[in-house]
Chain A
Amino acid sequence: MTFEEIVFWSLVLVSGFAALMVVISRSPIASALYLILNFFCLAGLYLTLNAQFIAVVHIIVYAGAIMVLFLFVIMLLNLQDETKLRERMNWKSFAAIALSILFLIELFYIFIIKTPTPKIPIHPSSKEIGTVEYLGKILFTEFLFPFELTSILLIAAIIGAVVLAKKKFELTD
């Protein structure tokens, strides 16, 4: 095994384990922390693909901003742990799991048998593509309009969050 393969497989194992634990673990806090572990491993995988800028942005935005928001909400709501997953499993859950495994097998079938990808190494120009300089250049030329549109999206999200969190809704049962 080369060094590259060892890094890849360890990242994949930890990340897959963390993803499973997000679904399995009982307390929401544990789920959130496992999700953060998963994000760090994914950032490592991005680095193995020479996407340095995306890897750093991923850690800042996901682990730094979104997950902190999640943890804040979990702590604000002061939830009790769910009852044991095994006790709440009914036929619907098993059907859901079976369908998801079927979906996974379908995807594997597509990726392995139907579209055999050539065994090529990572494109040599990807080293330069992943840098801030290159991505910044095309972000502010080719992708300027979508970039400006995201500002509208973000301001809508901010206003929406403030309005929703402030207003008292009158719900009738």
Chain B
Amino acid sequence: MIPLNYYLLFAAFLFSVGVVGVLIRRNAIIVFMCIELMLNSVNLTFIAFSAFMGNAIGQMFVFFVMTVAAAEAAVGLAIIIALFRNKKTINIDQINLLKW
């Protein structure tokens, strides 16, 4: 029997790996992938709680999170392509249009 704690701790680990990736990588696409990693760790938490409580609302929430993730990936990658067309780079150190 696997206790609920193990799932939560593993999700916390995945989330932290995602945070490290967002903070140290400079390639915009990999930053994006790390955001997906973080979204997935939260999904795992939702499903673990849903299974251990016997409640379906957690799984419904995961369903909507997936929808949002798909929409976000489509728009985000379009933005990356538009940026690359203009700046010829997706290194986030050189994309500083909004920097104050």
Contacts and interface: CB of A to CB of B under 8 A. Distances in A.
B is bound to A: yes
Given A104-B13, A154-B71, A129 B33 contact: no
Given A15-B14, A154-B71, A82 B34 contact: no
Main secondary structure of the interface of A (DSSP, over half): helix
A82 B21 CA distance: 14
Nearest to A66: B73
* Best-surrounded residue of A93, A135, A157 (most CB of chain B within 10 A): A157
Interface of A: 2, 4-5, 8, 12, 15-16, 19-20, 22-23, 28, 31-32, 35, 38-39, 42, 45-46, 48-51, 53-54, 57-58, 61-62, 65-66, 69-70, 73-74, 76-77, 79, 82, 85, 88-89, 93, 96-97, 99-101, 103-104, 107-108, 111-112, 117, 119-126, 129-130, 134-135, 138-139, 142-143, 146, 150, 153-154, 156-158, 160-162, 164-165, 167-169, 171
Nearest to A57: B66
A15 B11 CA distance: 11
Contact of A167 (B25, B52, B68, B82): B82
Interface of B: 1-10, 12-21, 23-27, 29-30, 32-34, 36-37, 40, 43-44, 47-48, 50-56, 59-60, 62-64, 66-75, 77-82, 84-87, 90, 97
Contacts, number: 227
Contacts of B97: 171
Enumerate the 4 nearest inter-chain pairs by beta-carbon distance, A residue then B residue, closest first: A123-B54, A157-B71, A96-B23, A164-B78
